[in-house]
Amino acid sequence: MGAPSSCRTVAANRLIIKALACLGWVGLPLLAAAQRPAPPPFKAPAFRQASPALAAGGTTVSGHVDAPTARTISLSYGPDWRGHLTQTVEARLSPAGDFRLTVPRLAAPTEARLGYENTYATLYLSPGDALRLTFDASRFERTLAFAGRGANANNYLTQSSLLASQDDEAGRTPDARAGRLSAAELRRAADTYRQQRLAALAAFAVAKPMPAAFVHQQRQAIADEWASSLLSYTSRQSAERRQAGYATLPVSYYDFLSEMQLASQDSALTQSAFQGLLMTYGFTQLNDEDGNLPTGPAAGRRLYQRATEALGEGRVRDVAVGQYLLGKVESEHTDIRPLLPDFRAHNHDSTIAREVRQAVRTHLALASGQPAPDFTLLDASGKKVSLSSLRGKVVYLDFWATWCAPCLAEMPASLELRRKFAGRDIVFLYVSLDSQAADWQKYLATKQVASPNAVQLHDGGAFDGAAPRAFNVQSIPSYWLIGRDGRIIANNPPRPSTSPAIDNALEQALKL
């Protein structure tokens, strides 16, 4: 498995883990050994007085959006066993840009996600909190600030996220540098940054007192993200470096896993950083040496033996293995049925078992040889185009979005592929999952080169849109190869950048 190369949502979880967004299953990148810049001071904005009557009805998040570009704002909470947020409240902005969101009957402190257009922030909510916030719609991450009860913890999260984003984008994090570091160098960089983050947390807590439970959770999150970086080291090595021996680790390299005492952390399963660590563990430790699902008559037994050594026999193991198997089915379209007997023998959670069974059924419906689900969307000119209207041609289907860096990284190779197969019976069908059509149209106008063999469509429902739901798209980019007869040839074909593998796949599809 290579470095993170697909996205679920980039901004949605940047405050705690980047992994839930990108299917590299890697926690929030740790900062490099270089000195972390001092955090900017927070200045709480002026707010209108909150209504005591409304605040008494539950936990409230109210505030003001400067120069609003959308009329609604949302708050999601209630993580399930995978950390997916299950409940959402939404509010309309007033003409002046004010809003109020109320979470009824919040029983205990929890992570939540504030959403505005394509931007998100992780919040920490406690029962009875009356948060007031403000931000400029065009500079969400840089201007978001909180006041009121619960403000200090959320200002810390915002500040930490902003600094992590800047360091990640600048390539200063250990994760960003791992591809050119030795294992020992990565360990030193990760250790140094872990200490820097702990020191920054302690300093902030002195200046702005925060709930003890929140500070403890953040300490654990820093440790979880540190461990995720160490786990993902080999996945970030190029083929050349692997051949040179960089993927060969010291015998004691993974000793840190026993120090983490993962088996005893049931209470952390509601926290996104720990969920990210378990995902990273699964996709770095449970795969075979080639990064694929284990195979062979004893594959399931070997998988559970390894998972039990690090995670024990309880709920933490059930969640980690469940995540791993679902990720294999949903994102890689892998047939996990050979492992199901061992899964049924060892899994204790009926909810996990039910979701795995449903994922397998969905996978079988989208397997090679099955009819491709039809959908109809609008192209850039407003014309309706259906997948079935392309029958008679091979279709290379690409689900993508303008906010997805791995998607955009494939676009130059995709354009070259279109040029190679110009005049052949192949249609390159692109389905944008941007929630705002304007973002998609702007990209097409400034970046994309039109060609007769390309069709550009838009599904504003994002991952909940009709087209991605029909194909069970859980991460992007997501590629599909569909034959002239409208049946699926491959549900995970080579990417455009994998020439000559993709060239060969298309040539074979043309012969069918």
Q: How far apart are CA 32 and CA 173, in angstroms?
A: 4
Query: What domains can be seen in the chain, in order of their start residue?
Result: 52-152 (2.60.40.1120), 287-365 (no CATH), 376-511 (3.40.30.10)
Query: For position 331, what pLDDT does the model report?
Result: 84
Query: For position 36, what pLDDT does the model report?
Result: 29
Query: For position 38, what pLDDT does the model report?
Result: 31
Cross-strand bridge partners of residue 488: 482
Query: For position 236, what pLDDT does the model report?
Result: 87
**Side chain identity at 190, as an amino acid letter?**
A
The SS3 call for residue 82 is coil
- Contacts of 324-327 spanning 24+ positions with Cβ under 8 A: 324/279, 324/282, 324/283, 324/286, 325/356, 325/359, 326/82, 326/355, 326/356, 326/359, 327/23, 327/25, 327/279, 327/282, 327/283
Closest CA to 324 of 19, 78, 85: 19
DSSP state of 358: H
Query: For position 63, what pLDDT does the model report?
Result: 97
Query: For position 46, what pLDDT does the model report?
Result: 37
Task: Give the mean pLDDT per block of 10 residues along the chain (512 residues).
Answer: 47 35 32 29 35 52 95 94 93 96 90 91 94 95 95 96 87 89 94 94 97 96 96 88 84 93 94 95 90 91 95 96 94 92 96 96 93 95 95 97 90 95 96 91 85 94 92 92 97 93 96 92
**Whole-prediction pTM value?**
0.81
Query: For position 356, what pLDDT does the model report?
Result: 97
Query: For position 321, what pLDDT does the model report?
Result: 98
DSSP state of 252: T
Helix then strand then coil, in percent of the chain rounded to 5, is: 45, 20, 35
Query: For position 6, what pLDDT does the model report?
Result: 61
Cross-strand bridge partners of residue 430: 398, 456
Angstrom CA distances, 151 to 88, 142, 239, 258, 483, stand at: 21, 16, 46, 36, 55
Longest CA pairwise span in the chain (Å): 70
Closest CA to 39 of 151, 160, 173: 160
Q: How far apart are CA 107 and CA 451, in angstroms?
A: 55
Query: For position 5, what pLDDT does the model report?
Result: 58
**Dihedrals φ, ψ of 509, to 5°?**
-65, -35
Exposed (0-12), middle (13-18) or buried (19+): which is 243, by Cβ within 10 Å? Answer: exposed
Query: For position 94, what pLDDT does the model report?
Result: 96
Residue at token pair 């599809």: 509
